[in-house]
Every structure is written in C-alpha cells, then in structure tokens.
Structure 1
Amino acid sequence: MYRFLLSRRWLITLLIALLLIPATVRLGFWQLHRHEARVDRNELIARSLTDQPVPFDTLSAAPGFAVPKDLTWRTVTATGQYDPAHEFVVRKRTDSSGDKIGYFVITPLVLADGAGTVLVNRGWVASGNSAVEYPAVPAAPAGQVALTGRLRADEAAGGSIKDRAGLPDRQFNLISSTQQAKDTGAALLGGYLELTATLPAPADQPELLPEPNHSDIGPHMAYAIQWWLFTALIPVGFVVMARREAKDRRKEAAGTDGLPVAVPA
C-alpha cells in the first residue's frame, strides 16, 4: 500500500523533511538565546539605574578605558567645568519620540579633582536649515557644575552608524573619547556620561535623553515557540500527505477494478 514511498518524489520529500527538522530546531534555539540576551540586558539596565551613583572617574580611571558591558548604564556623577571650546555635535540622532532627526550635543567636562576630562552628552537638538551648518545649541553652563548621568561606552562604527570623513567642522558621526583624544590631544577618560541632571539647573538646555526601555522583552520567545511548533508539524505533515496519497491510490485502484470490460461482438 505504501510502496510509493520508495519512489524518487517521495524520497526527496522525506529528505527535505529530515533536513528541515534540525534546521527549525536550531532556529528555535537561536530565538531563545536572543530572548535570554534581551532579558539579561533589561536586568542589567534596571540594576545599573537603581545602583547608588558613583563618581565617573572611579569607573573610568584612564584615557582609552573600554567600558565593560556590566558597567554600561551605571549611574555616575561628575563635578567640574565645561570646556565649550571643544564642544561638538553628533549627526543623525533622533529625539525622545524617535520621530525627528537632529544632533546630540557633546561637551567636555574638566573634572574638578584633576582626574581628567569627561565627554558629556548634554542631549538632543533639532537640525538647522542646512546640514553643513552648526545647529543652534543652548550654551553649556558656566562655572562649576555637578552632573548626574549614565555611563556609556564609546560608540564604534557599524550597523546604522557609519563613520565618514569630510564632515563639517565640529560635526561627527560617533561619540568616541578615543577619537576626540586623537583630534584634540586632551586626556579624555574612556566612555562618556549621558546627562540626566545638572546642579545648578540651567535655564535652557538640550532635550535630555530618556531612560532606556528595560521592560520590553521582545517577540523572540514567541518566535522560538513558533519554530518548534513548525518542527513538530513537519513529520505530522509528512504522514498526512502519505496517508492522503495512499487513500487516493486505493480509490484509483478501486475505480479501475470496477470498470466494465468490453466483450467482442
């Protein structure tokens, strides 16, 4: 009844099914690992944001320091004076709603304890009339200020961020203490501070960046379950197809057997 399974067409179908099963199982685990990575990231952000603030230079104590993953988003403080002469903007950045394209304003802060200089992302400003003109930026507060913010690692080119040369003066594509240290010769501590509060509070300042979302776990677990359900359906589908083929063959055979036989006159 099922000898047709030895035909070329059905052997190829069986081979495809056997190849699909491990592939879909692997894809399910890939989505599971992405889910676990998202959960770990959310827990890291939540923990970092609620930890007791520490001085920036106790975590990044030297120029060129690469901020490790477990310190990213840690709440930090810094006290010193802004250096507006070396302020710059970072292109193609969105506001808190994600709808408008503009610039991040990056101003170095010379630490009061003499430990070095820290890049501070003071927030977002809108683009001007021309992409080659420096945008209108609220002036950095004069005198000594006390800042609170989030520790961030230097940005690197990749993904949606492309580092291109030939940009207008004081415009960059990356927030990178390493890049700025090479350009200015300043002793910049590794990483940068993403500003959340300033004392004394300025009358005008760029739009502060919102706290990162650490509640959304994404669709990856649902995708993993879908892949594994598809895995289970592969052998079921093969059996259903084979049984339907056998049933059609039985009907065809029964119809052939029941035909009247022509008798010569």
Structure 2
Amino acid sequence: MYRFLLSRRWLITLLIALLLIPATVRLGFWQLHRHEARVDRNELIARSLAAQPVAYDTLSSGPGFAVPRDLAWRAVTATGQYDPEHEFVVRKRTDSSGDKIGYFVVTPLVLADGRGSVLVNRGWVASGTSATEYPAVPAAPAGQVTLTGRLRADETATGSLKDRAGLPDRQFNLISTPQQTRETGAALLGGYLELTATEPSPADQPELLPEPNHSDIGPHMAYAIQWWLFTALIPVGFGVMVRREAKDRRKEAAGTGAPVVAVPV
C-alpha cells in the first residue's frame, strides 16, 4: 500500500521535507542568538548608565581611540570650552519621540587639560525650510563648562547610515572623529559624548537625547520558538499527507473492486 512513496513525486516531497528541517532549525538558532545579543546589549547599557561618571580623559587614550564595547554608554564628564567654529550637524536624525526628522548638533569641546578635543552631540534640532541650509541652532555656551554625557563609539557607514559626499557645508551623515579630523585638522580624541547635562546650565540648548531603551528584548525569542515549532510540524505534516494518500488509495481500490497496484518508480 505504501509503495507509492517510491514514486518521483513523493521522493521529491520527502527530499524537500528533509532539507527544510535543518534549515528551520538553523533559523531558530539565528533568532535565539539575536535574542541573546539583545539581552547582552540591554544589560551593558543598564550597567553603564548606573555607574558613577568618570572623567572622559581617563578612558580615552588619544586620537584614534576606538571605544571598546564594554565602555559604550558609560557616563563620563569633561571640562573645557566649546569650539563653535568647527560645529556641524548630522542629517536625518529623529527627536526623542521618533516622529520628527531633523539634525543632531555636534560641537567639539577643547579639553581644559590640553590633550585635545572631543566631539559632543549637544542634542536634536528641527529641520529648517530647506535641507540645503544650515538649521537654526542654539549657540554653544561660552567660557569653560563641565559636561556629563554618555560615551559613544564613532559611527561608521552601515545599512541606514551612509557616508555621502556633496552635502551642504557643515552637514554630515555620520558622527565620526576620523572624518572630522580630515575635514578640520583638529586633534580629536576618539569616540564622542552624548550630552546629558551642562554646568553651568545654558538658557537655551538643543533637545537632549533620552536614555536608550534597555528594557525591550524584542521578538526574537518568539521567532525562534516559531521556527522550531515549524520544524516539528514538518515530519508531522509529511506523515499526515502519507496517511491521507494511503487512505485515498484504499478507498479507490475498495470502490472499484480492483487490487491495489503499486506505483512504478
């Protein structure tokens, strides 16, 4: 009765099922690894934000310093004077609600210890009437200030962040110390600060960026479970198809009174 499984159609169906099983298992583990990475990131952010601020220059080794993963989002302080001459904006960035597109305002801070400058993301401002014009930006505080901020690694060109040429003056797509060093020749220390507070506090400033969300673990674990459930359903589904085919063949043989003939291979 089950000789039909040796037919070409059923052998192809079996082959597809056997190929799908390892594929769906692998897709499940891919989603599991994404879940684990998300959890690790959330834990890192939570630890960094809860730690007491430390001086930025105790972490940065100088120009070209690459912020290591375990220092990302670390609360740091820095003292110095802003350099408004080399201020720039970063295009296509959203406000704290995520609904409005505008610019990040980035101003170098010349450190009081003379080691160099660090880029400071002072916050978000709305777009103007034209994307080719420099937006209205609150002036950076004059004189010596002490900042508190979150340490961030330099941005690099990725899927949504493109390093494009031909942009209007003082407008960029990335916050990148190597890029600004090439543009200005300034001695910029690696990484940048995401401003959270200024002392003394200015009367007007861009919209400060909120803390990153470190409570959402995303849907990846649910996706992993779905892939593995689908894996379990593949042999079950194949077995159901086989039983149904065999049942149909028995009914057909009983209705005609003819013996069941094996399907030639």
Matched with 2:215 is 215
Q: Secondary structure at the match of 2:16?
A: helix
User: Take 1:79 and 1:61, find their aligned partners in 2: how far apart are those partners?
Assistant: 17
Unaligned runs of 5+ in 2: 259-265
Question: Equivalent residues in 2 for 1:33-44 (5 A)?
Answer: 33-44=33-44
1:99 aligns with 2:110: no
Matched with 2:120 is 120
User: Take 1:211 and 1:135, find their aligned partners in 2: how far apart are those partners?
Assistant: 24
User: Take 2:18 and 2:86, find their aligned partners in 1: how far apart are those partners?
Assistant: 62
Q: Deviations over 1:208-245 (max 9, x none)?
A: 00100000000000000000000000000011110000
Q: Deviations over 1:121-172 (max 9, x none)?
A: 0000001111111100001011111100000011111211111111111111
What is the identity, as a one-letter code, of the residue corresponding to 1:63? P
User: Take 2:41 and 2:158, find their aligned partners in 1: how far apart are those partners?
Assistant: 20
Matched with 2:67 is 67
Q: Secondary structure at the match of 1:123?
A: strand
What is the identity, as a one-letter code, of the residue corresponding to 2:166? G
Question: Equivalent residues in 2 for 1:90-239 (5 A)?
Answer: 90-239=90-239
User: Take 1:242 and 1:215, find their aligned partners in 2: how far apart are those partners?
Assistant: 47
User: Take 1:18 and 1:188, find their aligned partners in 2: how far apart are those partners?
Assistant: 56
Matched with 1:51 is 51
User: Take 2:190 and 2:48, find their aligned partners in 1: how far apart are those partners?
Assistant: 18
What is the identity, as a one-letter code, of the residue corresponding to 1:67? V
1:8 aligns with 2:8: yes
What is the identity, as a one-letter code, of the residue corresponding to 2:224? A
User: Take 1:234 and 1:172, find their aligned partners in 2: how far apart are those partners?
Assistant: 50
Task: Give 4+ residue runs of structure 1 displaced > 4 Å after superposition.
Answer: none
What is the Cα deviation at residue 101 of structure 1?
0.8
What is the Cα deviation at residue 37 of structure 1?
0.4
TM-score using structure 2 length = 0.96
Matched with 2:252 is 252
User: Take 1:172 and 1:25, find their aligned partners in 2: how far apart are those partners?
Assistant: 42
Q: Percent identity?
A: 88
What is the identity, as a one-letter code, of the residue corresponding to 2:79? T
What is the identity, as a one-letter code, of the residue corresponding to 2:151? L
Corresponding pairs, count = 258
User: Take 1:252 and 1:71, find their aligned partners in 2: how far apart are those partners?
Assistant: 72
User: Take 1:167 and 1:58, find their aligned partners in 2: how far apart are those partners?
Assistant: 35
What is the identity, as a one-letter code, of the residue corresponding to 2:221? M
What is the Cα deviation at residue 189 of structure 1?
0.4
User: Take 1:193 and 1:58, find their aligned partners in 2: how far apart are those partners?
Assistant: 14
Q: More deviation in 189-198 or 155-164?
A: 155-164
What is the Cα deviation at residue 80 of structure 1?
0.7
TM-score using structure 1 length = 0.96
What is the Cα deviation at residue 61 of structure 1?
2.2
RMSD of the alignment, in Å? 0.9
Q: Deviations over 1:169-213 (max 9, x none)?
A: 111111011111111111100010000001111110000001000
Unaligned runs of 5+ in 1: 259-265
What is the Cα deviation at residue 36 of structure 1?
0.3
User: Take 2:168 and 2:240, find their aligned partners in 1: how far apart are those partners?
Assistant: 65
Greater Rg by CA: 1
User: Take 1:15 and 1:61, find their aligned partners in 2: how far apart are those partners?
Assistant: 57
Q: Deviations over 1:30-58 (max 9, x none)?
A: 00000000000000000011111111111
User: Take 2:12 and 2:59, find their aligned partners in 1: how far apart are those partners?
Assistant: 60
What is the identity, as a one-letter code, of the residue corresponding to 2:234? I
What is the identity, as a one-letter code, of the residue corresponding to 2:71? L
Matched with 2:242 is 242
User: Take 2:246 and 2:168, find their aligned partners in 1: how far apart are those partners?
Assistant: 73
Q: Secondary structure at the match of 1:245?
A: helix
What is the identity, as a one-letter code, of the residue corresponding to 1:20? L
Matched with 2:262 is none
User: Take 1:175 and 1:185, find their aligned partners in 2: how far apart are those partners?
Assistant: 16
